[in-house]
Structure 1
């Protein structure tokens, strides 16, 4: 049995006054340090955060991928638990992480994310179980992938384990917010794709949105989530369409701002 490790809780923020308090409360008794990297919020995020025992750092925004890796690098401890401000640990997950902390045996730990959408917990639509690797040894993993949805990737020959409990995700509070953010994220994704040299495809522009809807609404049971499931799956299709549309506009030299 290994001795207990020290864990740095890491959160990136921007205008998260509605969420940050709940997130920080869920980390109490779990993390030996809580680090917040904020991209110069204009609301009460900093004030609320400093009311807790946190280390608060401000850093200009260059995208999710850069900010998450920057934050990871500033942590005091090598064992990192990285959350978004609109996430919180369930009580069962807190217990699992406490157990892991006292007997760290793998390089990273995976747990499911359970999303609250406009007041309803979504159990299908491709949103659950939404396995996330967020507790890991930063010496053996970092954030990779495309903005706005990068993920933690571990080095080869590392060991990971799935632990019990849900990461509670308080996502969108209105349908309008979901649609507007999807359009924003689609632009970010298109810019990232273009930077990697990906070229637009008329086939993907037409077919990918349709496939995305059928996959999430039919194959992944979005219809079981009722009206909310329909909105989620239609918006996912809309996001996919916009992503390839924006990529095509960038490729043609047109501004998408």
Structure 2
């Protein structure tokens, strides 16, 4: 055990992350006793980079992020007091590094979860308007005290018991891939989010998720607003969402980057999710069993199961 580091394991999911992984692991090596990589059978240099940093490397077939995270928690042979979830295209700011080193070991036993701020980059510069910052996420937890909620998209860590606190500093999300990659990824995300939304209507999975509460945690507030959003008509809600993000929350203040981000993320992506729901209704109607068969036949997803 390294006494200069907190008793902390980083859990990192990867698939062909040679572009980002070294940067991620560089930011973790001074605060983590252990780093566990859960890989989805990469065919690039991901494994070699992980082993260069002394990370323990596991492989497991990818279903979705929730399944992969919980597999890592259960099979990663974690032996530290704390765990931190970090995506391969994320890295820890200097301020957050200092907060983790100095404050994590001093937290009281009833604190079982820690929220930190995520700072999103777009075209290699931070996005701080459009409601993008600060967004607080539960990213650290005492080992054995949290699992990832079972959702196709927008999954969050959920504590079994205890209280949460916050640490200052940013978890920086700065993906370096181009827009073609981004749109292809979000096309896949849109399918999974359409399934997630339909699950709320048809109860395909009986999943236990974070509560929606206007007066609760940051995650609970976001879920409350999302529930209100989903009650709006298809194709109307993306327009309202774009208006709120770009105009009311000041996305226009970030110039061309803000315009592009809001057009793609808050407009095109949200519209695509609705279009995929509409397409499912056109093909399968609003019959639960037919919708289940539609997503299985069309996308290969068994939407009655998440894990």
TM-score, normalisation: structure 2? 0.76
Please give the residue correspondences for 1:1-257 in structure 2 after superposition, counting only pairs within 5 Å.
6-73=7-74, 74=76, 75-105=78-108, 106-144=111-149, 146-155=151-160, 158-198=162-202, 204-236=233-265, 237-251=267-281, 252-253=283-284, 257=299
Query: What does the per-residue CA deviation read over 1:60-102, in whole Å, with 9 as the maximum and x for residues that have no partner?
Result: 0011111111112223335211100000001110010012332
Highest relative contact order (Cα 8 Å, sep 6+), 1 or 2? 1
Q: Does the C-alpha gap of structure 1 residues 127 and 38 become closer, same or farther in structure 2, counting only changes over 3 Å?
A: same
Measured in 1, the distance between the counterparts of 2:185 and 2:150 equals 19
Contact 2:14 2:38 in 1 (8 A): yes
Structure 1 residue 212 displacement after superposition = 1.4
Name the structure where strand makes up a greater proportion of residues: 1
**Structure 1: any 5+ residue segments left out of the alignment?**
none
Measured in 1, the distance between the counterparts of 2:190 and 2:31 equals 35
CA RMSD of aligned residues (A): 2.3
Which 4+ runs in 1 deviate beyond 6 A?
none
Contact 1:125 1:217 in 2 (8 A): yes
Q: How many residues align?
A: 253
Look up the match of 2:219.
none
Query: What does the per-residue CA deviation read over 1:211-257, in whole Å, with 9 as the maximum and x for residues that have no partner?
Result: 21012112221111111111111112211111122123234335655
Contact 2:21 2:89 in 1 (8 A): yes
